[in-house]
Amino acid sequence: MVFLGLWQLLATVPVFGRILLPPFFFSNPVDVGSQIVDWFSSGVIWKHLMNHAGESILAFAIGSLAGVLVGSGSRASRGGGDLRSLCEDGQRVAAGGAGADLHAMARARHLSKVALGVTLVFFIVFFNVYQGVKEVSSTVLANAACSA
């Protein structure tokens, strides 16, 4: 509450002859609150919230699936390769041409949001799955192989 009061004061009341938070760069809490109420009362915000929710869910699903598949598959295919070399390989692939693809996707607003979300989710899931698979004991693996 103190923060909002200070923000309103600095954005509307001149201090030493000038407003410290100029309206060109900063709004004030009263105007922000009024705009939010207008968006909800007119209903325009719901379309944007639904679009954002759909993009977030799609990015989470794709990033999680890709992270689990790559994280579990990389451990099995590398036969015990370390995480550092795997990251270095990923950097070489990204530097080699993925930048052009991401640049082209950035032109499409929705695809760029989904791509960013996939990237964020992928690496979190990937590193956790990779580390989890790496730390599975040989006894558990032997028991799983016998029961299959």
User: Is residue 48 located within the same domain as residue 116?
Assistant: yes
Task: Give the Cβ contact number of residue 20 at 10 Å.
Answer: 12
| Residue-level length of the chain | 148
Residue 139's SS3 state is helix
Residue type, 125: V
Residue 128's SS3 state is helix
User: Is residue 14 located within the same domain as residue 55?
Assistant: no
User: Is residue 27 located within the same domain as residue 48?
Assistant: no
How many domains in the chain?
2
User: Is residue 62 located within the same domain as residue 25?
Assistant: no
User: Is residue 21 located within the same domain as residue 49?
Assistant: no
- 88 domain-assigned: yes
User: Is residue 103 located within the same domain as residue 59?
Assistant: yes
Residue 130 and residue 74 in contact, taking contact as beta carbons nearer than 8 Å:
yes
| pLDDT score for 56 | 93
Secondary structure (DSSP) of 63-108: HHHHHHHHHHHHHHHHTS--HHHHHHHHHHHIIIIIHHHHHHHHTS
User: Is residue 27 located within the same domain as residue 87?
Assistant: no
User: Is residue 23 located within the same domain as residue 52?
Assistant: no
DSSP letter assigned to residue 15: B
| pLDDT score for 106 | 44
Q: What domain range is 20 assigned to?
A: 2-31
> Cα separation of 7 and 52, whole Å?
29
Instruction: Give the pair of three-digit tokens for residue 1.
Output: 């509450």
Task: Provide the b/e sequence for 83-104 (b: ≥16 CB within 10 Å).
Answer: eeebeeeeeeeeeeeeeeeeee
Please report, in tens digits, the pLDDT of each residue of the chain (148 residues total): 899 999 999 999 998 889 999 888 999 999 999 999 999 999 999 998 998 999 999 999 999 999 999 888 876 655 545 555 555 555 554 454 444 454 454 446 778 888 889 999 999 999 999 888 888 787 877 787 776 5
In this structure, the dihedral spanned by the alpha carbons of residues 12, 18, 24 and 28, taken in order and rounded to 10 degrees, is: -20
